Chains A and B, each alone.
Chain A
Amino acid sequence: MIIPTVPTFTTGDTSITNLQSLAACAGFFSCISSPTGSLPFFHCYRTTTQSISASTWTSVGFPIVVADTDGMSNGTGVTVVTQGYYAIDACLPFTTLSSGFIALCRFLFTAGTHNPHFTSGTQVIFGGRGSFTIAAVGYDEVSSVTDITPMVCYPGDTLNAQVFSTVAFVVDNVANATLIVGRYPPNFTGRWIRSGT
């Protein structure tokens, strides 16, 4: 998506182009469909389990797209299309496989080839939520994480939600049939919040 250029008007200005540029700004921020596009945002989730190996930070896949105004979803996380800062959130339910273990979650930024501030492939972690769970085996836990990107994202950069544990576990939304089935599956959401260079 192209971030619209805010026009400047002069006395006696008859430029329809300027008015269209202003309309493009309104369309960009309105979050409704417009000829020039709307604010980039996404909402993806998963309905299947994902096994996580012990002591390995792993990106959770979010293959189902609810909304994606900028074509960002890549099946696992998102690939930035429009330059700017983003606010992102993730909800990560998991099933305990032992009676107590560490569960951590965070976001991972990976620079693409168009980012002038990072070498392609550079990774930056941000966000973060972690705790020791004392739930019995087979119970559900859930961690949610939220942050804004600590850097300007450029087209081609990727954002992922990751989990980690000292033991193998399962990201899941269907384990505890009496409590949470279908109520909060693993979700990954985000939106453009500000321009930046």
Chain B
Amino acid sequence: MTLTIPTVPSLPAGYIVQAADLNALAACATFLMNKPIARVHDGAGGQSLIGSTYTPITFNTVDVDTDTMYSAGSPTLLTVQTPGFYTLRYAVSINSITHGTYCTVTTGAGNPLGSGITLTCWGGYSIGNTASCAMCGGLLPAFMYAGDTVKVGSVPNTGAVTTLSNVVSFMSLEYVST
């Protein structure tokens, strides 16, 4: 599903406003009330991570997904459906291993730059002991087109597993602007 981004009407002086103009304004409000958001989390834990290797985190539980950004067939990804700028938030919780994390954006076929271009951003870090949960988030530093994907991954110092202890891994996207 791709939400239609409403067009804000122009209402010059002397113009007789039509119902369509006002409904177009109303559509803007409706869009803001119902803008795309998605949040998924790791409800299973136990995903094996290889030492010194970036492994995308698998998310198997959907909390909210108003724009069909998540697909169970690609459980490491959120796929943008409605073009725009998005805010990412995530946490990756693993066992006692120190790890770094970051987000990877990959362009899809609908991106004018072409598909398969990657951008990494928003790194996190956590020193391991009995728990190690890195978190980060912020505005994705590129305009996102329909089909672009977002994933987050972990690079542990040594082999590790995701855990549900205390805090669980999650990833979310919030549409913020055209």
Contact = CB atoms under 8 A, between A and B. Distances in A.
Interface stretch (B47-55, B102-110, B123-131, B154-162): B123-131
A56 to B, nearest CB: 12
B172 interface: yes
Contact of B26 (A22, A29, A100, A145): A22
A89 B37 CA distance: 17
Interface in B71-128: 87, 89, 91, 93, 125-128
Contacts of B56: none
A150 B41 contact: yes
> Size range of the interface on B?
35 or more
A134 B129 CA distance: 10
Contact of A131 (B23, B25, B66, B132): B132
Given A26-B29, A29-B29, A129 B134 contact: yes
Given A3-B33, A194-B66, A102 B129 contact: yes
Contact of A128 (B30, B33, B125, B135): B135
Contacts of A87: 87, 89, 174
Interface of B: 18-19, 22-23, 25-26, 29-30, 32-35, 37, 39, 41, 63-64, 66, 87, 89, 91, 93, 125-135, 137, 166-168, 170, 172, 174
25 contacts: A4-B29, A6-B26, A25-B32, A25-B33, A26-B29, A28-B29, A104-B133, A106-B166, A106-B167, A128-B91, A129-B91, A129-B135, A131-B132, A132-B130, A133-B127, A146-B89, A147-B39, A147-B170, A148-B39, A148-B64, A148-B174, A150-B64, A151-B64, A194-B66, A196-B64
Interface of A: 3-4, 6-13, 18-19, 22, 25-26, 28-29, 85, 87, 100, 102, 104, 106, 125-134, 144-148, 150-151, 164, 166, 193-196
